[in-house]
């Protein structure tokens, strides 16, 4: 269940403070839908630098998605090795690509641009291994829609800030938080929370004394001095 303190004004206040400290928001250049989908799979359980390298190496070795889908899994895994858990990601990517090809007749999802957000999310989450977070990333980063991805950092900060209850899963958090985050700041807030989670509200040894959200954070008393 969502915390009683969860409301759009509180979230907007947190966003304004984070953005004031981090500087202007710069969106990422949009990618084709399939590219964004694969890139999001590669981003799991690794850094942005390593996932970016893995994506670049995958595209360099296999210029088309059809080649990725048809290649031996070991070769795909070798191309994305720097992104971690390479064989698992390779198999997941290939299953996604083959499913898209079977449904669409080609490995393209451009037609999703003509669908509403709920229809796009429903389609994407019906693909093998694609959950709400991955679907939300595609909606935001590729399609420019007002989705709110809940990754590890966003989930941790939302819990510490009392926006969601302790023990809320990432999938539950996605459903609970999105309606309360004003649509026009969802992309920006997602990025701001990730930056804050990496630099200040870290998983271990959070720098609570440097946090711009101290008075909004019920978890502050739990931080080490």
pLDDT at 94: 98
Q: Give me the sign of the Cα torsion angle 204, 213, 21, 147.
A: positive
Per the annotation, the verdict on 59 as an active-site residue is no
pLDDT at 225: 53
Strand partners, 131: none
Q: Is the pLDDT at 2 greater than 50, yes or no?
A: no
CATH (one of 3.30.70.600, 1.10.340.30, 1.20.960.40, 3.65.10.10) for 33-141: 1.10.340.30
Mean pLDDT over all residues of the chain?
93
Give this prediction's pTM: 0.88
Q: Could you report the per-residue pLDDT of 160-186, keeping only the tens digit for each?
A: 999 999 999 988 999 999 999 999 999
What are the residue boundaries of the structural domains of the chain, listed by start?
8-26+149-220, 33-141
pLDDT band with cut points at 50, 70 and 90 for residue 44: confident
Mean pLDDT for 126-133 is 94
Q: Is the pLDDT at 10 greater than 60, yes or no?
A: yes
pLDDT band with cut points at 50, 70 and 90 for residue 48: confident
- % pLDDT > 70, the chain: 96
Q: Give me the sign of the Cα torsion angle 150, 156, 160, 166.
A: positive
Q: Is the pLDDT at 224 greater than 60, yes or no?
A: no
Q: Is the pLDDT at 32 greater than 70, yes or no?
A: yes
Q: Which contiguous run of DSSP H or E holds residue 10?
A: helix 8-22
What CATH number does the domain located at 8-26+149-220 have?
1.10.1670.10
Catalytic residue among 19, 89, 92, 133: 133
Number of neighbours of residue 109 by Cβ within 10 angstroms: 23
Alpha helix ranges (H) inside 71-166? 73-79, 86-104, 117-125, 132-141, 152-160
The token pair at 110 is 């451009």
Please, which residues have CB within 8 angstroms of residue 92's CB and are 6 or more apart in sequence?
Answer: 41, 128, 129
């Amino acid at each position: 269940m969502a915390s009683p303190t969860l409301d759009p004004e509180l979230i907007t206040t947190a966003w304004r403070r984070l953005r004031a400290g981090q500087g202007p928001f710069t969106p990422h250049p949009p990618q084709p839908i399939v590219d964004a989908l694969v890139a999001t799979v590669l981003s799991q359980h690794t850094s942005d630098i390593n996932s970016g390298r893995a994506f670049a190496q995958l595209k360099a070795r296999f210029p088309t998605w059809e080649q990725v889908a048809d290649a031996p899994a070991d070769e795909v895994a070798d191309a994305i090795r720097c992104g971690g858990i390479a064989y698992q990601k390779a198999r997941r990517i290939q299953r996604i690509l083959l499913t898209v090809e079977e449904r669409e007749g080609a490995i393209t999802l451009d037609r999703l641009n003509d669908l509403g957000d709920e229809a796009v999310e429903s389609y994407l989450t019906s693909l093998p291994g694609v959950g709400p977070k991955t679907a939300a990333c595609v909606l935001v980063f590729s399609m420019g829609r007002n989705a709110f991805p809940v990754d590890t950092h966003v989930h941790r900060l939302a819990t510490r800030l009392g926006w969601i209850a302790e023990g809320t899963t990432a999938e539950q958090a996605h459903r609970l938080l999105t309606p309360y985050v004003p649509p026009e700041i969802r992309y920006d807030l997602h990025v701001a929370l990730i930056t804050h989670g990496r630099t200040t509200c870290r998983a271990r040894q959070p720098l609570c004394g440097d946090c711009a959200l101290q008075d909004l954070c019920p978890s502050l008393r739990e931080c080490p001095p």
